Structure 1
Amino acid sequence: MKVTACLLTLLLFCSSQGRAQAPVNVMVYPGTELLQVIHLLSDTAQLAKSTYNADVLRYFHAHKRHPAVLKARALKYISCDFPVRLSWAFYNFPAVKLATMKPEHMDGYEKAFDLGQMQAYFQECVNFYNDTHFWAFYQAQTPHYARWVVSFERGLYQDGMLATIDKFYRLKRDKPIVFTLGALNCGSYVMSDLRGMNPNLPNQTTIMVAYSQVVSGKDSLSKTPAFYAPARTSQITWHELGHAYISPVFRQYQQEVQALEYIMQQDSAIRSKAVMRGGWTNYLNENTTQAVTSLLRIRTGKATREVELEKSPDEFYLLSAEMLGIIERQYYGQTKYRDFKQFFPVLLAELKKSHPKR
């Protein structure tokens, strides 16, 4: 990853896990902050609230009529996680560059927006970066960013969240993981690939941890952002990180997964949720990682079984409770299977058995 020595050593907000696994980094990414600052100034995006908002407005208030801000106001696509999902298109800080984005490897998001329009908007964001001396703001915030990272890493390393999920799957992650922390973000997400967003950088899985999903109680302009909240970050960390372990497994067993698509076809509730996630394979992937996440949260005391498995009126993970039961009975804490990949065909067979074709 081409990040300047200044970014790595002066800021001291990126840390790596030194082990045989692909590295896990935690950082506050300048490209993400650039977009979110512009979105805050535009008054069109839903954003989390904290004392950081006041810092942003204090520094950038004179630029609310900048062309980038005006473009943001006219943009159809701004939401909790979009287009901030694409923020790694900005790179080479502090001499920022913008990659030419490609529609491939966009996790399906290329179908939801006009790539040319987004490229033009991002170019205006580069102009905003230069016109407002954004890097000076970013450097001034470095002590705050470092505290965010330390607070998140406390859960990840000292509390053993990363070790717990490593021990569960017993699999190698196929590419580096980068957790990006966002005090303005109102939605967490994972982008499994960088190749479409920025082919100039080595590939990685990017996980956004949104402050609004970590804060205790309601977010407020009077609260200082912090990212240590195991009961909340365990859901984000284990669910989103789970995709990095199971996506290669899903690719290996693609035919077997597709053979179970009839489960979706004969259940209208499952079908409606699967359509929201892009089809059966993605939906089963989501249910698998959520089943594991819920199991780990229950077994490590992050949540009670009753609370964790309580279904909401608009429950998305309609298969996860059933899958949790299968995994808990036949895999968790056992040595019969070398790793989750070896167990996965058993999980699929159990689903087939409990959902016979009609």
Structure 2
Amino acid sequence: MTRLFPIGLALLLAACSRPPVPGDATAAPTLAAPDAPAIAHVVAVHPGTELLHVINYLARVYGPPVREYDYRRDVDAWFGHLRDHPAVVHARTLPYNDFAELGWALEFPGPRLAEPEGFAHLGLIRDEAYLREYLRLAVEFAKDSDFAGFFAAHEAEYARWVAQFEARLDAADPLPELADFYGTGLDKTLYFSISPLGVVLKANIVIDEVAPRHAGYGPILVPFDPRFLPEGPTDAARFDYADEPLANAVWHEATHIALEQFAEGQREVLMAIDYADDFSRQFKVFEDPRLDTYFFVHEVLSDAVAIHLKGERFGSTSAETHLAQNEAMGGTLYRPVVEHFRDAYAPGRHERDFRAYLPALAGFISSVDDEAP
């Protein structure tokens, strides 16, 4: 399970050194059946996000969940002498969010910085001047470290990891269930961004402002995480994730992407929700408490969708285990929302779509007794 706060695949691409662009023949998306809502997707290693992961790793903003593995050793050997580079020093003041989504502002080959139009909610966590300097220094770091040489030297590994994730995604096939649940497809192509040095599984919902030329994508950062593997510890990066953690990650993160689409024109409906529990009180990020509410609801709905679908596919025990973990963190809203999906939304979901149902769902959340133990 991942958190937005506090704290929170198509064809194997021939050219891993650049993100595919809409219409790129090497990144033809896989679509659902013609009579079903479509969710298109690609898989790649995005060089911009991987560059920021390297800088943040050197800055000790986050550490990968494996102390020693092959790719991390390669990063240490190539970049270790640059731990005091201005970009790394600058990154050391990042908060809980590693801001790797900003890597989409970097164009390759290069990198060249395409100045973002804005930073969406990230610009409310750190000021825009800091973020623009962060990106400018990242370009300098890439040149000083020969990041392009490092990336090119690992293209074979990147291609292997993309193929691993692609194969497992095709086998697990979680997207049709998600489209069926929404009752509609997505305006964006999901971009599963394999990040061998990444730490946080998360959706990039700032791309429309950070890189509007790539707004046709809904990127999802997928880190190397041994907890997602079907077997024990490993010292080698792998992305052949097991069915349940892979499906859970896709359902949750894709719902973050979808909610931004569905909430367009009705964000006030989500911001106006009246509800609080111990988990929601951890979401104290913005000066505007309505934004805290918005992203709290974002998180609850994304995980509740995943839990509901997990129950349908993997059984009630799996869903109940997930619910219990959330409740142990003080998240008492998850259970009533999951039950609402099961009892009120899912039975008639083929006659409605999730976007149109959002106001009713917001009303239901506000009706939940937030004084319950």
Normalised by the length of structure 2, the TM-score is 0.78
Partner of 1:3: none
Distance 1:226 1:255 in 2: 38
Partner of 2:102: 86
SS at match of 1:269: coil
RMSD: 3.3
What displacement does 1:41 show? 3.4
Partner of 1:144: 157
- Cα distance per residue 1:53-100 (max 9 Å; x no partner): 11112233444454433444xx31165x41323111211x12321122
What displacement does 1:219 show? 9.7
Distance 2:279 2:30 in 1: 41
Written as runs of structure 1 = structure 2, the 5 A alignment for 1:61-100 is: 61-72=80-91, 75-77=92-94, 79=96, 81-91=97-107, 93-100=108-115
Written as runs of structure 1 = structure 2, the 5 A alignment for 1:252-263 is: 252-254=265-267, 256-258=269-271, 261-262=273-274
Q: Is the 8 A contact 2:229 2:241 kept in 1?
A: no
Distance 2:216 2:349 in 1: 33
- Cα distance per residue 1:139-192 (max 9 Å; x no partner): 121121112212222332222111221122121212232121212222112121
Percent sequence identity is 22
Partner of 2:186: 173
Distance 1:215 1:69 in 2: 29
What are structure 2's unaligned runs of at least 5 residues? 1-11, 21-26
- Cα distance per residue 1:334-354 (max 9 Å; x no partner): 466232234444434544555
Change beyond 3 A, Cα 1:26–1:276: same
Specify which of 311, 317, 321 is matched with residue 298 of structure 1. Answer: 311
What displacement does 1:316 show? 5.7
Q: Is the 8 A contact 2:104 2:210 kept in 1?
A: yes
What displacement does 1:281 show? 2.8
Residues 1:34 and 2:51 aligned together: yes
Residues 1:9 and 2:14 aligned together: yes
Residues 1:118 and 2:135 aligned together: no
Distance 1:255 1:10 in 2: 42
Specify which of 272, 277, 296 is matched with residue 281 of structure 2. Answer: 272
Q: Is the 8 A contact 1:24 1:179 kept in 2?
A: yes
Normalised by the length of structure 1, the TM-score is 0.81
- Cα distance per residue 1:299-333 (max 9 Å; x no partner): 11176233122145652643121111111123335
* Residue identity in the other structure for 2:58: L
Distance 2:193 2:103 in 1: 11
Aligned residues: 341
Q: Is the 8 A contact 1:171 1:245 kept in 2?
A: no
* Residue identity in the other structure for 2:113: L
Residues 1:309 and 2:328 aligned together: no
Q: Is the 8 A contact 2:43 2:192 kept in 1?
A: yes
What are structure 1's unaligned runs of at least 5 residues? 1-6
Of 185-194 and 340-349, the range deviating more from structure 2 = 340-349
Change beyond 3 A, Cα 1:345–1:122: closer
What displacement does 1:221 show? 7.6
- Cα distance per residue 1:1-29 (max 9 Å; x no partner): xxxxxx96343996442438463221111
